[in-house]
Amino acid sequence: MSLLFEVGAACAEGGRRGELTLPHGAVQTPVFMPVGTAATVKAVPQDVVESLGNRGAEIILANTYHLYLRPGHELIRSLGGVHRFMSWRRPMLTDSGGFQVFSLAKLRKITTDGVEFRSHLDGSKHFFSPEHSMEVQIALGADVMMAFDECVETPATWQRTKDSMALTHAWAARSKQYWEDHRHEVPWARERSETRDQRSEPTQFEREYDATRFSDKHQALFGIVQGGMYPDLRRESAQRLVEMDFPGYAIGGLAVGEPREVTREMIALCLEMLPKDKPRYVMGVGYPDEIEEYARMGVDMMDCVLPTRAGRHGLLFLRENPADRRSAVVRLNIKRKDLADDQGPIDAGCACSVCTRYSRAYLRHLFSSGEPLGATLNSIHNLAFYLETMERVRSDIAGTPG
Amino acid sequence: MSLLFEVGAACAEGGRRGELTLPHGAVQTPVFMPVGTAATVKAVPQDVVESLGNRGAEIILANTYHLYLRPGHELIRSLGGVHRFMSWRRPMLTDSGGFQVFSLAKLRKITTDGVEFRSHLDGSKHFFSPEHSMEVQIALGADVMMAFDECVETPATWQRTKDSMALTHAWAARSKQYWEDHRHEVPWARERSETRDQRSEPTQFEREYDATRFSDKHQALFGIVQGGMYPDLRRESAQRLVEMDFPGYAIGGLAVGEPREVTREMIALCLEMLPKDKPRYVMGVGYPDEIEEYARMGVDMMDCVLPTRAGRHGLLFLRENPADRRSAVVRLNIKRKDLADDQGPIDAGCACSVCTRYSRAYLRHLFSSGEPLGATLNSIHNLAFYLETMERVRSDIAGTPG
């Protein structure tokens, strides 16, 4: 078993309330996944991530490219996978590394076989093929892994986008083949290595980890629809991937600078093509109003660095009218001088641990003084705001508490 | 009422088990006080500081010099004091600013009236007199404030030390006079200002804050014994301060580079001179074995930035034999390469939230990757280690759980 997806109530616009059951637990959908790039949701301890909002984050994302470079996937494999490495009990998802290779790494050389690139950390040379991305993702052992895709630059011509899409499809097939052949290698059920146990007693978390739970489980692989901003290519890409029959589908290559109407149009036409009984994931979006909109259209999963990145930069999300959780999303720059003596919380209608305890005056002080607690508290609020938004959307779709 | 101190059981070496009751609550002594320089225990959220060890930190320290410069004591006064500013319910202590003025600020000019200095932040010119330090500390409103003292450089001649000590005594008398005349001005009982209430609803923390609780309470002022490394001057200083009759006494000017035997000797002879029924506080010490040693000698209060500062630099404290909490204190550099795959906790005998959940391998990864969570988790462990040490000392002295 890798994945179960039960779709419940749906709303007129296409949004649906679902439950995604993965090896490490169940996830209520539509869901927003906080990003934990280097096996840490930046500046936020795991127990806080678990307790955000009413349910906590039920699934988080980690980045294959970053963990491959540091600390290395073989190290994480030897410790039983990224869950055990970072002491996270709940489901996780890893991207394929493709997006980061194309956006962060230097001196890329792309062939049909894969991509040669240099690390953004030390300039060392590396090569990712679909097979190697799968190997790394199996070593990391997230519940959901992603096919290796080419991310085309924006804007790109129709022909360039079509060629890139064809490569993505070929790589998707190779990714799937490798996953089918090797998914039993996932290190979840691995016993603690003898040598290491002799050196030191493992943590309580590790001692309580029940490896036998995972003996009959493996990772799920999602295919990624590409096709740029061309409706015909998007449709073709979705159709080709559906023919390959993945456990779930992602819509990639969006939110890369195109107008929001285009993003919406591309998502809508992909959703039409993708099977209704499988999870559909839009990668790397977005602002709180965007994730709400896409969830109502029928997107089941989304992720974005925005809540944590904005938080570290002192940018906070709140409702225009705190008492009305459906009112517009407003952004507050905590650096603002007039907040220096503001005794109110970030968002008076937010029930998060930051808004109940800390004032804007204090958060401004922390940020202005460069105190690390500022980034932590700002990130916690923004994440809670995103999760609250999705709870409300789930509740709206189902007509019951989300 | 400003302070009640009940001394219970004592041990042969002079250590005593006590309870210090301050306006914001009771503190079990001997106690270690985490330092929250800028109204934040660096990188650690308030709820975590409250839950360290078995009782949480019962008192924390904030630095007058830092808060005076940023965000400014008048701002903090207008918000009802540093407790309400940082949302901290328990007792606090502020230093006088003297030590920071002498060690951090630039271009000091000392007269009998006070010290002129330039801010380490922006070079702006400021002046601290005993009266001004008291004014600032009353605005901040910690439960315990400290007399303004001169901190002599080390080493210093007998004559230089004696002259400096005389200045400290004159300043102590002026500090006490100002405190007696103005202590009713502490802003604890201040109602939320009308203008601010109209702008935004206060946080839940602030709404639940019961200002009436503090109507009959004021801050306590501690005198500071100086005298450098000269036994005769130390005795003279202690005697002079005792004559002034403070609610508590600190021993200052130690742990500034002198050999540890000298520190111990100076503490011992000051303790002999200071009244047994009042709290005795050694400022700015020290390593875990030092705080244990001094507590057993009869010191009731200590503070140090070491647990948090060392944590941010990847230096962790643990017991040589994890199963024996009385075994030697060992330091672990989390950067060490051989820890990369170590599945054990920092200290297998430590019950803190970091040691129960996270491995050395993960903490090393966080530190090596510059992830902010590393500083947070390292600081939490070190603080918990210090608090555990003091719990054990209290238990030893009393012959019962501390």
- Tell whether the model's pLDDT for residue A294 goes beyond 80: yes
8 A C-beta contact, residue A88 and residue A60? yes
Question: Which tens digit of pLDDT belongs to each residue from B58-103?
Answer: 999 999 999 999 999 999 999 999 999 999 999 999 999 988 888 8
**Closest CB from A87, A361, A373 relative to B358:** A87
Angle at alpha carbon of residue A317, lines to A312 and A318, rounded to 5°: 145
Question: Which tens digit of pLDDT belongs to each residue from B251-293?
Answer: 999 999 999 999 999 999 999 999 999 999 999 999 999 999 9
> Chain B: nearest CA to A88, how far in angstroms?
9
**Partner-chain contact A372 B376, CB within 8 Å:** yes
SS3 A209: coil
The pLDDT value given to residue B194: 46
> Chain B: nearest CA to A73, how far in angstroms?
12
The pLDDT value given to residue B2: 82
pLDDT band at B193; cut points 50, 70, 90: low
Looking at chain A, the whole-number percentage of residues with pLDDT higher than 70 is: 97
Residue in A with minimal Cα distance to B209: A357
- Tell whether the model's pLDDT for residue B402 goes beyond 80: no
The pLDDT value given to residue B195: 46
Calpha distance A290→A307 (Å, rounded): 13
Question: Which tens digit of pLDDT belongs to each residue from A188-246?
Answer: 987 765 445 556 789 999 999 988 899 889 999 999 999 999 999 999 999 999 999 99
The pLDDT value given to residue B80: 94
Q: In chain A, what residues touch B205 (CB-CB under 8 Å)?
A: 356-358
8 A C-beta contact, residue A240 and residue A147? no
Nearest to A267 by CA among A305, A300, A304: A300
**Closest CB from B355, B365, B375 relative to A39:** B365
**Partner-chain contact B357 A204, CB within 8 Å:** yes
Give the pLDDT mean for B29-53.
Answer: 98
Beta strands across the sheet bearing B25-29: B4-10, B16-22, B25-29
8 A C-beta contact, residue B182 and residue B134? yes
Whether ipTM exceeds 0.90: yes
**Partner-chain contact B348 A201, CB within 8 Å:** yes
Question: Which tens digit of pLDDT belongs to each residue from A20-60?
Answer: 999 999 999 999 999 999 999 999 999 999 999 999 999 99
The pLDDT value given to residue A104: 81
What is the Cβ-side half-sphere exposure of residue B84, based on CA atoms within 13 angstroms? 31
8 A C-beta contact, residue B148 and residue B95? no
Give the pLDDT mean for A341-357.
Answer: 96
Longest distance between any two alpha carbons in chain A, whole Å: 61
The pLDDT value given to residue A151: 87
**Partner-chain contact A192 B343, CB within 8 Å:** yes
Q: Which carries the bigger pLDDT value, residue B199 or residue B343?
A: B343
Question: Which tens digit of pLDDT belongs to each residue from B116-155?
Answer: 999 999 999 999 999 999 999 999 999 999 999 998 888 9
> What average pLDDT does the structure give for chain A?
95
Question: Which tens digit of pLDDT belongs to each residue from A96-137?
Answer: 998 888 888 777 899 999 999 999 999 999 999 999 999 999
Q: What is the CA radius of gyration of chain A?
A: 21
8 A C-beta contact, residue A38 and residue A67? yes
The pLDDT value given to residue A332: 98
Torsion sign across C-alpha atoms A194, A195, A196, A202: positive
Q: Is the pTM of this model over 0.90?
A: yes
